[in-house]
Amino acid sequence: MTTRLDVPGLHRAVAFVAIVCAATGGLLALNQRVKVRTTGSDTSSDLFAPLSALAREPLRYGLTMVPDARAERRLRWTWAPILPAGLDVVVLGQSDADHMSATFFRKPERFYNGFVSSAHFAYQWEVLDALLRRANVPKMILWDVRSGEMLEPHIDPPYDGPADAPGFFAGPLFVRGAPSVPRWYDDLPSLLSLAQTKFTLTALWNESGFRRRSVQIGADDGKPFVLLPAGAASTSHRWLSDGSRVYPAEVNGKLVPRRQPGLEEARGERVVNEASIERFDDMLGKAEKAGIPVIVYAPPLRPLAADSPSQQGAYAAFEARTRAVTEKHGVDFCNLTKRASDIGCPDEGFYDELHVGRPCDARVLHELVNGCAPRLGETLRAYVTTEIASARGPAR
């Protein structure tokens, strides 16, 4: 004789425990995901809303900016979690890389220009690090290394140095000020706390609202982070959705050059900055460790600076030391410092002595995929447009 034990309350208890465990696990996972995504970023600020609008309607808007490394760093750190995953090409460098454009690539949404108006390699790497922390690993880096960057007597602080290391003129790195994200099993009390759950719900609500909300076009009053029509001239510098910059009065890549370009790149007794060489060596090692192929290029200077007789020795030293570092890491180095005319960058293609417009940057890419980057040029060719990859190249 078999006795059947039937306890209705037991089934309800088991179901209740299962529901509680599933809900707790789901909440834990959600809280951890939001915590990782927002650590060190600025997703609750007013900056997140216009950036989300810029990402949502990239052809419609431009975002006013102030050419300042501190403001640019904050913007890029905030932008990192908004960018789409699966980037193909990321540009790193200082301000002379600012016109590298998504329009040069077959999949423009997979390109990101991460320039920062600073010669410091630590600030340049910080842009990429913000992406790597969100598992957005690009397939290739194009690293703009200007000759003057290696020839200026500035302090170049190490990326791994303390927050108060000398040389961080635009503030310490975000990773020095932001709390590290612990593993979930080391931080259970915090992740399951009411405070963290409330923050998660608030962050998700804000992000959902930002992505749905129609952000109004603002006034061109000199303030940063104001949305303006992407294709209209303005008195402000502007960011575009690919991370590139538009200069005042510029429309559709057509520069309005400064009336009197300076000669900061062609005066003084300049020598190779050994600290910058050391930092550059370190950054290439970090990229190699992360498994990201790199092409290094030195952008063209306006001939009035590149042809200065007093600077030829400095340019030669820059070439030798930079090439030695790139060869150490097996990286292509395309030095275009004195080749503006050769590659089709006329005087009117320069905003000033250093900064080139979009047509000239298109010519730079053309050089990279047509022999100037022998190791990775063919790989890069698969990403650029047919016009840039062609033997003739884009219009001069």
Number of other residues whose CB lies within 10 A of the CB of residue 364: 27
pLDDT of 124 = 95
pLDDT in tens, 52-67: 888 888 888 899 988 8
Please give the average per-residue pLDDT across 353-357, as a whole number: 89
Contact yes or no for 229/60 (Cβ under 8 A): yes
> Can you tell me the distance from the alpha carbon of 94 to that of 125, in angstroms, rounded to the nearest whole number?
11
Per-residue pLDDT for 136 more than 90? yes
Measure CA of the first residue to CA of the last residue in the chain; give whole Å: 96
pLDDT in tens, 241-275: 999 999 998 888 888 877 666 666 666 678 999 99
Per-residue pLDDT for 317 more than 90? yes
Per-residue pLDDT for 68 more than 60? yes
Ranges of each domain in the chain: 48-184+224-389
> Can you tell me the distance from the alpha carbon of 308 to that of 24, in angstroms, rounded to the nearest whole number?
68
Per-residue pLDDT for 43 more than 60? no
Residue 175's pLDDT band (cuts 50, 70, 90):
confident
Per-residue pLDDT for 181 more than 60? no
Per-residue pLDDT for 364 more than 70? yes
The strand order across the sheet containing 332-335 reads 111-113, 89-92, 140-144, 294-298, 332-335
Which residue intervals of the chain are DSSP H helices?
8-38, 48-56, 69-79, 121-132, 147-151, 174-177, 188-191, 194-212, 274-289, 303-306, 312-328, 340-343, 358-367, 377-381, 386-389
Say which residue, 104 or 154, is predicted with more confidence: 104
